[in-house]
Amino acid sequence: MTDKKIDMFKLVEEVEKQRASNIDDIFNDLDSIRKEEAQPSVSPGSTASYQKSSDVRLVRKPSIPEDIGNYTTRFEAFRSIVEHVSYGSTDVNDYMAGHRDALEKYYKDAYNNSRDLYVIEARVNDEINRYTSRYQLYEKGYYDGMFYILKALKRSKELLMARLNKEISEKL
């Protein structure tokens, strides 16, 4: 053994100074990143995504309209809900394009299966459960569009049931 004695207090002070300088370096790096301009990164064939979270705009999902007009079948109620979608003041084109693509896809399916919308409901549920990528605005819009379709299908079912219940109550 050597006769060198280690001063524990000095050792602890050195470790604390090192930690403090590392933390200061981290905060300096964060400040420099925050000051940088956000540049959209676009790969060929994809939509823009932003590098900084402060550049993301608030995207409001369209809501189901309250008044959809006259209808006699569930498909007519569903069609009216899908046709009266309102995006409000949302000006995010990629989001709206994805949302509209989902609406068009499932509207065509519903048109072809207008007598049995339960099939469409099952397809939408299945695709929602398998859909994993929601990082781009288009993908987020498409995902929200699928949920809008699902809500429209459920709302059309509720409206038709309420109408039938009213007609039955009047006849009794």
By residue range, what is the domain housing residue 75? 65-171
* Higher pLDDT, residue 50 or 101: 101
- Asked if residue 43 is part of any domain, the answer here is no
CB count in 10 Å sphere of residue 45: 5
Domains in the chain, number:
1
- Asked if residue 155 is part of any domain, the answer here is yes
Confidence of residue 154 (pLDDT cuts 50, 70, 90): very high
- Asked if residue 2 is part of any domain, the answer here is no
Q: Exposed, middle or buried by CB within 10 Å (0-12, 13-18, 19+), for 82? A: buried
- Asked if residue 111 is part of any domain, the answer here is yes
Query: How is residue 117 written in tokens?
Result: 């919308």
Confidence of residue 150 (pLDDT cuts 50, 70, 90): very high
- Asked if residue 40 is part of any domain, the answer here is no
pLDDT above 90 for 68 = no
Confidence of residue 168 (pLDDT cuts 50, 70, 90): very high
- Asked if residue 29 is part of any domain, the answer here is no
pLDDT above 50 for 107 = yes
- Asked if residue 96 is part of any domain, the answer here is yes
Q: Are the C-beta atoms of residues 160 and 74 closer than 8 Å to each other?
A: yes
- Asked if residue 10 is part of any domain, the answer here is no
Q: Where is average pLDDT lowest: 2-16, 34-48, 84-98? A: 34-48
User: What pLDDT, on the 0 to 100 scale, is given for residue 108?
Assistant: 92
* Higher pLDDT, residue 50 or 19: 19
- CA separation for the pair 52, 64 (Å, rounded): 32
Residue 49 backbone dihedrals phi, psi, to 5 degrees:
-130, 155
